[in-house]
Amino acid sequence: MKVYETKEIKNIALLGSKGSGKTTLAEAMLLECGVIKRRGSVDAKNTVCDYFPVEKEYGYSVFSTIFYAEFLGRKLNFIDCPGADDFVGSAITALNVTDTGVIVIDAQYGVEVGTQNIFRTTAAIKKPVIFAMNQLDGEKADYENVLEQMREVFGPKVIPIQYPLACGPGFNAMIDVLLMKKYEWGPDGGVPVISEIPAEEQERAHEMHQQLVEAAAENDETLMEKFFDQGHLTEDEMREGIRKGLEDRSIFPVFCVSALKDMGVRRMMEFLGNVVPFVEDMPAPVNTAGEDVKPDSNGPLSLYVFKTSVEPHIGEVSYFKVMSGTLSAGADLNNVSRDSKERLAQLYCVCGQIRTQVDKLCAGDIGATVKLKDVRTGNTLNEKGCEWTYDFIKYPAPKYLRAVRPVTESDSEKLMEILTRMHEEDPTWVVEQSKELKQTIVGGQGEFHLRTLKWRVENNDKLPITFEEPKIPYRETITKAARADYRHKKQSGGAGQFGEVHLIIEPYTEGMPAPDTYRFGSQEYKMSVRDTQEVPLSWGGKLVVHNCIVGGSIDARFIPAIVKGLMDRMEQGPLTGSYARDVRVCIYDGKMHPVDSNEISFRLAGRNAFSEAFRNAAPKVLEPVYDVDVMVPADVMGDVMSDLQGRRAIIMGMSSENGFEKISARVPLKEMSSYSTALSSITGGRSSFTMQFSSYELVPSDVQEKLLKAYAETVSED
């Protein structure tokens, strides 16, 4: 395989909703370029892109797959991304390391929610987009309706390059309004017969050609002047105008294909090879120091590892993009992310699990290597003297959480090793060992995302695991002031234990004045603050402790022990065992013994006095509430609204956005446990949602009673 220069390389992400036919399209591309001699199929489980056991089990893509095509003297690197929203992390990664997105749209079902989400991502990172309307040979294919829908959702910049002469099982011909030719295929697809446009199509073709010429000319003043002077542009001039339009996202070309029958695929690839931007045409990525890193083959050698995986019969494979410089096999590089050294003994260009060994890769190219010592997804490998690192990929927060544990308790450490490795393969699998909940929590983008994780752990690593609903990180606080005292006294021969603490607690708010006087019943308590400690709590809020001891009733050396006792109860609240927050404590009196008083005595006295006062201070349980945005088709909006209201949601607003309805709500985390599954069921998989932590709010009284009762039963059992 020849060494391709930066000016000969194009990187393209293959995107689209589940079932749109991306993997089938990839097979057709590979056949057209001669990489494979015979196409596989998803049903036969022998495609280049879906080669992992879990993908063959489920029948569709779970992981992104890298493949390349040598075409028209260029190297086209593709990343085929899973279509399910659960695996959106792969699409986000792919878009960040490629320069153009090809979004595949099913001509039978049109623009789906997943398609719109992907398009939003391309807009956020300003990547060019080409649409491939696939499955025009499907029973329900409707080109005109889908094109109109695309314009409604994505705007008037959607410009057809081609249109079919017929849709459905009879699809075998189309008009190309860029080349102004008719393309027609036999029953087996492949090489088309190219002819002049029939007379009955001339008017429509000319009208669409003019629209395309105008769209191309808008992106270049010189072309615009020529268009006004002559009324037309040459093919090369149109390509140049379209290329500039792609770069600034002022044009989104639409191609017609049947990936299954290999119709229109080669023509689209010709466009990709001739028109879409090269690596060096696009804005340079930025490193963590804010510097542009241009794809310069003569620059410092720097690689970004965007994907790692453990693959059948190979072991660990690291996929990287050469950000700068020229990489040669056997290069010794520094992993600046982990402060270690690596030798890249072998370099590969890959097509799924087909690996072609190469000697060099230039800036902008995508490659792979195997069996590195200490490399993870997101790491940067540089030559000596180069300190660049990258952090340009931002992943969405988890939407679906589950507590996980091994069936055999002794396998806990092994499970954590596996989960850590899997997070490195897919950063959208998030793993947390929660000290607060005393659970290992795994988070993903949906139920299927975590079910895939479970399948891999149990089938690849042979470790049976159990998923459970995670506990909710409630918080406890108080709503009024209360007073309590507690004497800890223990005598068991020799030195005993003695400590007595009197304290007042009240709700804490930022900026409140120092305590002065409290009244409980007919008793008045005046405070004289000698010292103040503010303890910011890692889980949010504060504990503020005022030392108001006068007359030396408690020695100052015991105050830290009392504070430790208070923190014991802040870490395990008296109501539900959850973290407590936002409490101010005044320690105003107590007693000590000249012999028996010690730190443990005052720690226990402070803890128990705090517990008693807390229960008398109108305590409340707080629950985490999230801001949730749901994108739904209009026909199921009522059902989705009803479901949200049944989850104690407060609807904050509704709006229309690119053909979909957007519902904004605030929903308790407790009610979001299986929301992704429920939403998919209600809408037939046509909706999506995002959620972000908002605040802690008081739980309703009936919910609090249930929580207190459940905790009391747990404590009594212990």
Q: CA of 263: how far to CAs of 184, 306, 401, 551, 564, in Å? A: 8, 33, 43, 94, 73
- Pairing mode, if any, of strands 162-164 and 315-324? unpaired
Q: Provide the mean pLDDT of the chain.
A: 91
For residue 250, count CB atoms less than 10 angstroms from its CB and return exposed for 0-12, middle for 13-18, buried for 19 or more: middle
pLDDT value at 113 more than 90? no
Mean per-residue pLDDT, 288-308: 95
pLDDT value at 658 more than 70? no
Do residues 297 and 278 make contact, with C-beta atoms less than 8 angstroms apart?
no
* pLDDT given for residue 441 in this prediction: 95
pLDDT value at 16 more than 70? yes
In order of their start, the domains of the chain are 9-281 (3.40.50.300), 302-382 (2.40.30.10), 400-471 (3.30.70.870), 476-618 (3.30.230.10), 622-703 (3.30.70.240)
* pLDDT given for residue 717 in this prediction: 58
* pLDDT given for residue 231 in this prediction: 65
Q: Tens of pLDDT along 212-222?
A: 988 888 877 77
For residue 296, count CB atoms less than 10 angstroms from its CB and return exposed for 0-12, middle for 13-18, buried for 19 or more: middle
Q: Looking at the DSSP assignment, which residues form a beta bridge with residue 322?
A: 303
pLDDT value at 384 more than 80? yes
Q: Distance (Å, rounded) from C-alpha 428 to C-alpha 86?
A: 9
pLDDT band at 331 (very low <50, low <70, confident <90, very high): very high
Alpha helices per DSSP H over 534-674? 559-571, 599-615, 637-645
Identify the CA nearest to 186 among candidates 176, 168, 172, 200: 172
Q: Tens of pLDDT along 521-543?
A: 999 999 999 999 999 999 989 99
665 CA to centre of own chain? 21
Q: Distance (Å, rounded) from C-alpha 107 to C-alpha 148?
A: 12
pLDDT band at 699 (very low <50, low <70, confident <90, very high): very high
What percent of the chain has pLDDT above 70? 98
Identify the CA nearest to 29 among candidates 73, 78, 63, 74: 78
Q: Distance (Å, rounded) from C-alpha 240 to C-alpha 274?
A: 10
* pLDDT given for residue 236 in this prediction: 80
Mean per-residue pLDDT, 29-55: 82
* pLDDT given for residue 412 in this prediction: 93
Do residues 74 and 273 make contact, with C-beta atoms less than 8 angstroms apart?
yes
Mean per-residue pLDDT, 686-712: 90
Q: Tens of pLDDT along 664-685?
A: 999 999 999 889 889 988 988 7
- Tokens at residue 186, please? 């036999």
Q: Distance (Å, rounded) from C-alpha 122 to C-alpha 126?
A: 6
Mean per-residue pLDDT, 692-709: 92
Instruction: Look up residue 448 and give its amino acid.
Output: F
pLDDT band at 432 (very low <50, low <70, confident <90, very high): very high
| Angle formed at CA 81 by CA 75 and CA 84, multiple of 5 degrees | 165
pLDDT value at 718 more than 60? no
- What is the DSSP secondary-structure string of 373-386? SS--TT-EEE-TT-
Do residues 12 and 127 make contact, with C-beta atoms less than 8 angstroms apart?
no
- Tokens at residue 292, please? 């542009």
- Pairing mode, if any, of strands 315-324 and 302-311? antiparallel
pLDDT value at 313 more than 80? no
Contacts of 219 (CB under 8 A, 6+ apart): 241, 242, 244, 245, 248, 250, 251
| Burial call 29-62: b when 16+ CB within 10 Å, e when fewer | bbbbbebbeebbebeeeebbbbbbebbbebebbb
Mean per-residue pLDDT, 681-708: 90
Mean per-residue pLDDT, 636-641: 93
- The CB density around residue 148, as the number of other CB atoms within 10 Å, is 13
Mean per-residue pLDDT, 79-85: 88
Conformation bin of residue 230: beta by default, left when phi > 0, alpha when psi is -120 to 50: alpha
190 membership: H or E segment, kind and range: none
Mean per-residue pLDDT, 584-593: 95
- Tokens at residue 492, please? 């068991």
Identify the CA nearest to 389 among candidates 423, 436, 338, 315: 338
Mean per-residue pLDDT, 291-307: 95
Range name among 358-372, 593-607, 675-689 with the lowest pLDDT average: 675-689
* pLDDT given for residue 656 in this prediction: 86
Q: CA of 684: how far to CAs of 127, 141, 146, 514, 636, in Å? A: 30, 19, 19, 58, 10
- Pairing mode, if any, of strands 542-547 and 583-591? parallel
Contacts of 641 (CB under 8 A, 6+ apart): 651, 663
* pLDDT given for residue 85 in this prediction: 83
SS3 state at 491 = coil
Range name among 226-240, 387-401, 566-580 with the lowest pLDDT average: 226-240
Q: Distance (Å, rounded) from C-alpha 354 to C-alpha 377?
A: 21
pLDDT value at 61 more than 70? yes
312 membership: H or E segment, kind and range: none
Please report the beta strands in 312-389, taking only residues with DSSP state E, as ranges in sequence order.
315-324, 326-328, 331-335, 340-344, 347-351, 354-358, 360-362, 366-370, 380-382
- The CB density around residue 280, as the number of other CB atoms within 10 Å, is 18
Contacts of 390 (CB under 8 A, 6+ apart): 285, 287, 288, 293, 304, 323, 378, 380
Q: Tens of pLDDT along 220-238?
A: 777 777 766 666 677 788 8
- Tokens at residue 364, please? 């902008």
What percent of the chain has pLDDT above 90? 70
Q: Distance (Å, rounded) from C-alpha 425 to C-alpha 527?
A: 58
* pLDDT given for residue 239 in this prediction: 85
527 membership: H or E segment, kind and range: none
Across 29-43, 51-65, 130-144, which has the greatest mean pLDDT? 130-144
Do residues 482 and 504 make contact, with C-beta atoms less than 8 angstroms apart?
yes
pLDDT band at 493 (very low <50, low <70, confident <90, very high): low
Instruction: Look up residue 331 and give its amino acid.
Output: A
Tell which wins on pLDDT, 683 or 546: 546
